[in-house]
């Protein structure tokens, strides 16, 4: 088992932070950001963003609320509440960061990194509730429109608050990109949705000045729909991560490529990736020649673990499958199975073909991967066994079905 720190920040480490964030991270983590491991970095960045967001959101909330009450804009009051809710979501980010940076314990041997996913779902729920309430208030304003008294100065100030929220969004996204914290990315979209909502509010104020008082309610309804859409997207992302998101095809391809770069590896399969916060745990099988000694095969497995881990994929465990390609029946047996795979729409691929025994009487062992839509994998197993048995009547055939979570 090999573990290496992520190198996703590049050969020289993660990009430097702005001076304010760096000071916050140093105070919160006790050392510079570039000396933090991935888990420490994610937690420290989450704390830095959370504290900055809480202070900024409370200031913007007070400004928007006072302007909304003074001008009589329901959309601006709703937008002020939305900004206040951003403070709550930032508090959630802070709490999740404190939980996520707790070390592993007996009950949580993989650490607490998935606290970030829980925070993401909580943020989405808060955003959805806010969107629903804003929509209800906006519909009431559309049915009973009221003129809004908002000067151009008020409109300009509202536009400034939108720019401030967009800055907070970019700040959070920048930190999220440096550490992979999903809760930070969710909080960033919360900020951005607030910025877009404020733009709609400003549009409603301008419309009221031109004799369209109902436009304020329409703008508020637009805010609510936007919030509900963002809430759905964030919730889906968080729930997918909690349930267990399939690894990206690019990630699987990169792991296989790095494993094949080791001399002596003839094939790679059964790649399994588990994600716990910023930590990945990977297992994979490699096919090798059957003649090396056990010591040589052990050394090869360690070389593969290092090659995959040093590319920034995570902690790696390798299983070695020796394959006797010099067996007299290997090539013809492989072609028999390959032809069946080409003709059978329910079979995706096969691998790990091993032959144990003599030239005529032997045991053939292979793994078969079914297509995602396969209804009856057991029938697939029987078809493969029948095809091999027909070609080699004296052979014993063992067919293993690949689980859906291996690649």
Domains parsed from the chain with CATH numbers: 19-243 (1.20.1510.10), 247-323 (3.30.70.1350), 324-407 (3.30.70.1350)
Nearest to 112 by CA among 57, 53, 42: 42
**How many other CB atoms sit within 10 Å of the CB of residue 140?**
13
Q: Does 185 score more than 90 pLDDT?
A: no
In sequence order, the 6+-apart residues with CB closer than 8 A to the CB of 403 are none
How confident is the model at residue 4, as a pLDDT?
A: 40
d(CA 146, CA 213): 6
> Which whole number is the average pLDDT over 268-287?
84
Q: Please state, for a pLDDT cut of 70, what percent of the chain lies above it.
A: 94
- Helix (H) / strand (E) element for 221: namely helix 215-243
Q: Does 161 score more than 90 pLDDT?
A: no
How confident is the model at residue 30, as a pLDDT?
A: 75
Task: Kindly list the distances between the CA atom of residue 362 and the CA atoms of 211, 335, 398, in Å, as whole numbers in the listed order.
Answer: 89, 17, 11
Q: Return phi, psi of residue 22, to 5°.
A: -60, -40
How confident is the model at residue 7, as a pLDDT?
A: 39
Q: Does 202 score more than 50 pLDDT?
A: yes
Q: 87-91, 242-246, 340-344, 386-390: which has the minimum mean pLDDT?
A: 242-246
Q: Does 277 score more than 70 pLDDT?
A: no
DSSP sequence for 22-39: HHHHHHHHSS-GGGS-HH
Q: Does 2 score more than 50 pLDDT?
A: no
How confident is the model at residue 148, as a pLDDT?
A: 63
Beta 315-323 vs 279-289: how paired, if at all?
parallel
How confident is the model at residue 75, as a pLDDT?
A: 67
Sheet holding 362-370, edge to edge: 347-357, 362-370, 396-401
Confidence at 281, pLDDT banded by 50, 70, 90? confident
Confidence at 245, pLDDT banded by 50, 70, 90? confident
How confident is the model at residue 258, as a pLDDT?
A: 92
pLDDT tens digits along 42-82: 888 888 888 888 999 899 888 888 888 887 777 678 778 87
**pTM of the predicted protein model:** 0.63
Is there a contact between 25 and 33 (Cβ–Cβ < 8 Å)? yes
DSSP sequence for 269-292: EEEEEEEETTEEEEEEEEEEES-S
How confident is the model at residue 229, as a pLDDT?
A: 85
Q: CA 168, 169, 175: angle at the middle one, nearest 5? A: 90
Strand partners, 362: 357
Instruction: Encode burial over 75-114: b for 16+ CB neighbours within 10 A, e otherwise.
Output: bbbbbbbbbbbbbbbbebbbbbbbbbbeeeeeeeeebbbb
């Amino acid at each position: 088992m090999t573990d290496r720190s992520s190198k996703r920040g590049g050969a020289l480490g993660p990009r430097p932070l702005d001076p304010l964030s760096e000071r916050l991270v140093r105070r919160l983590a006790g050392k510079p950001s570039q000396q933090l491991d991935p888990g420490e970095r994610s937690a420290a960045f989450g704390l830095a963003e959370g504290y900055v967001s809480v202070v900024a959101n409370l200031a913007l909330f007070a400004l928007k609320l006072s302007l909304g009450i003074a001008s009589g804009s329901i959309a601006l009051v709703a937008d002020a509440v939305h900004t206040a809710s951003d403070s709550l979501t930032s508090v959630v980010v802070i709490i999740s960061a404190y939980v996520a940076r707790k070390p592993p314990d007996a009950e949580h041997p993989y650490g607490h990194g998935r606290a970030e996913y829980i925070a993401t779902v909580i943020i989405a729920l808060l955003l959805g509730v806010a969107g629903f309430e804003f929509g209800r208030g906006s519909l009431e304003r559309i049915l009973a429109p009221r003129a809004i008294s908002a000067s151009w100065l008020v409109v300009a100030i509202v536009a400034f608050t939108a720019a401030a929220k967009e800055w907070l969004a970019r700040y959070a996204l920048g930190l999220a990109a440096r550490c992979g914290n999903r809760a930070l990315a969710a909080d960033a979209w919360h900020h951005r949705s607030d910025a877009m909502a404020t733009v709609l509010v400003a549009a409603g104020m301008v419309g009221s000045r031109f004799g369209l008082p109902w436009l304020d309610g329409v703008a508020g309804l637009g805010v609510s729909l936007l919030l509900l859409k963002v809430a759905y997207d964030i919730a889906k992302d968080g729930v997918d991560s909690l349930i267990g998101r399939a690894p990206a095809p690019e990630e699987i391809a990169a792991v296989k490529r790095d494993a094949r770069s080791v001399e002596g590896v003839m094939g790679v399969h059964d790649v399994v990736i588990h994600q716990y916060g910023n930590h990945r745990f990977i297992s994979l099988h490699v096919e090798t020649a059957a003649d090396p000694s056990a010591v040589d095969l052990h050394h090869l497995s360690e070389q593969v673990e290092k090659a995959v881990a040093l590319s920034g994929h995570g902690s790696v465990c390798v299983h070695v499958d020796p394959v006797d390609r010099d067996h007299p029946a290997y090539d013809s047996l492989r072609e028999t199975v390959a032809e069946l795979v080409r003709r059978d729409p329910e079979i995706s691929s096969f691998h790990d073909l091993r032959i144990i025994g003599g030239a005529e009487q032997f045991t053939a062992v292979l793994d078969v991967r079914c297509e995602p839509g396969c209804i009856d994998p057991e029938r697939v197993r029987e078809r493969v066994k029948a095809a091999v048995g027909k070609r080699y009547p004296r052979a014993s055939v063992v067919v293993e079905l690949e689980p859906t979570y291996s690649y």
